[in-house]
Amino acid sequence: MRTLFGTDGIRGRANIYPMTPEVALKVGKVVGLLFSNSNSSKGKVVIGKDTRLSCYMFEAALVAGICSMGADAYLLGPMPTPGISFITKNMRADAGIVISASHNPYWDNGIKIFTSEGLKLDDNLEKRMEELILKGNIEGSPDKIGKAYRIEDAVGRYVVHLKQSFPEGRTLDGLKIVVDCANGATYKVAPMVFGELGADMVKINCEPNGVNINRDCGSTHPEGMVAKVLSEKAHIGLAFDGDGDRVIISDEKGNIIDGDDILAICAVELKREGQLPSNTVVSTIMAGKGLEISLNREGIRLVRTKVGDRFVYEKMLEVGSYLGGEPSGHIIFRRFSETGDGIISALQVLWVMIKYGKPLSDILKERSVRFPKVERSLRVKEKIPFEDTPFASAVIKAEEMSDKINGRVLVRYSGTEMKLRILVEGEDMALVEEIASYIEESARKYLSLEGKP
């Protein structure tokens, strides 16, 4: 069992193990050791980060570790996670490192690593890295010491890449867009992209100060974005998360459009354009039943996998799909990126609006079926296996209850946080709420929860 790497790299509260400078130093050493290019004298490692205060100390520790092993570090500064993936591949680097805790509060942070192809590590490589990090006796040579460089044009390179995902010659002229950057990594890039394409932009939460990232804003708190869409009479609202790999959208009426809706809207378009190989879309076990119905009626197959964008991408490769994602708004368009990119996802939805000249609410109504759904998150002190408690029987009973409303129940522990996730959906909202409440009451009775959700 691994103790450092979770669903998405190493993550935790800054200055508390495992997210300490000491661990980051060891991660840097191991990356410098394992990813050095055998065809050159030095390895090349790209490092990017989001806007949280603790990124500075982790960046310094990683650079020290990398350089101590004779590799060179290339610093991008604040950059969305998909941008770091792109730059890693674009610069022909040997590895890329992201310092971010995505949608988590500022006091958390994380480290995730990309291969030279801009891909997340597979299980075997993560296991090998963890063994070396925990072993802790890696020493460099006094004859091989690397240097650190700052890449000044990284944002510009990435902006060009993003704009190339939008049809050539087309613009966003005439569209009023609310852009919520969550005071995170997209605060420079997103306004540049939408502005250069001609949008009339209303920017909110684009002034990071190190501690306001994701604070009551962005994809996990889109209420402010929705309110601004309505007050500004905008055509669309875009709320990114702290590291920019996901987006939650609002239509002109203030309806929230999540990852399931984005997949439904874009899958239909890709099929019509002949750009949906195998007529297959990949999502996770969290994908709603409505998405499956939406796709099936268009002759598109939905394949589900474990939670986590890495598993989505692996399954996409396996089944030959060019589109996959998660309800959280983390969508992968393989034509343009090897990982989820919130800005690319937003541009694809905007293109559908422009192509048909319709309000987003009309497109949503035409392409996405929605079932009433309730999601709840409960903080836990420890992740006790369900089967070791009567809670397992409670979940089975809840599943039987959901069958009466053509619904489903999904209960699991988060892979990145100390939380229990509850999802219930079905045709009757009152019964969906009742089932979710029953599961929550059972969890509080039989599991080790930590106060209120």
Q: How many CB atoms lie within 10 A of CB 160?
A: 12
Burial class of 152 by CB neighbour count within 10 A (0 to 12, 13 to 18, 19+): exposed
Is 111:98 a contact under the CB 8 Å cutoff?
yes
Asked whether the beta carbons of 111 and 99 are under 8 A apart, the reply is yes
186 and 246 in a single domain? The answer is yes
Q: Does 43 fall in a domain?
A: yes
Specify whether 270 is located in the same domain as 172: no
The answer to whether residue 230 is domain-embedded is yes
Burial degree of 277 (CB within 10 A; 0-12, 13-18, 19+): middle
* Chosen domain end from 105, 122, 152: 152
- Residues 40, 134: one domain? yes
Per DSSP, 449 falls in state B
CATH code of 326's domain:
3.40.120.10
The pLDDT, as a whole number, for residue 7 is 75
Domain that holds residue 388: 373-446
Q: Where are the alpha helices (DSSP H) in 247-308?
A: 259-272, 289-296
pLDDT for 37 equals 59
Domain membership of residue 265 (yes or no) is: yes
Judge if 201 and 320 occupy the same domain: no
| Domain presence at residue 2 | no
Asked whether residue 349 is assigned to any structural domain, the reply reads no
Tens of each residue's pLDDT in the chain, 453 residues: 668 998 789 999 999 999 999 999 999 999 999 987 555 568 999 999 999 999 999 999 999 999 999 999 999 999 999 999 999 999 999 999 999 999 999 999 999 999 999 998 888 999 999 999 998 788 888 988 999 999 999 999 999 999 999 999 999 999 999 999 999 999 999 999 999 999 999 999 999 999 999 999 999 999 999 999 999 999 999 999 999 999 999 999 999 999 999 999 999 999 999 999 999 999 999 998 899 999 999 999 999 999 888 899 999 999 999 999 999 999 999 999 999 999 999 999 999 999 999 999 999 999 999 899 899 999 999 999 999 999 999 999 999 999 999 889 999 998 778 899 999 999 999 999 999 999 999 999 999 887 654
Asked whether residue 116 falls in the same domain as residue 15, the answer is yes
Other beta carbons less than 10 A from residue 388's beta carbon? 10
Q: Residues 239, 276: one domain? A: no
Two tokens, residue 400? 């039987």
Number of domains forming the structure of the chain: 4
In a domain, 353, yes or no: no
**Residue 356 lies inside a defined structural domain of this protein:** no
Residue 453 has a pLDDT of 46
Tell whether 248 and 261 lie within a shared domain: no
pLDDT of residue 328: 93
Tokens of 435: 């089932």
Catalytic residues: 102
Query: In this structure, are 116 and 27 located in the same domain?
Result: yes
Domain boundary among 84, 117, 152: 152
Is 362 part of any domain?
A: no
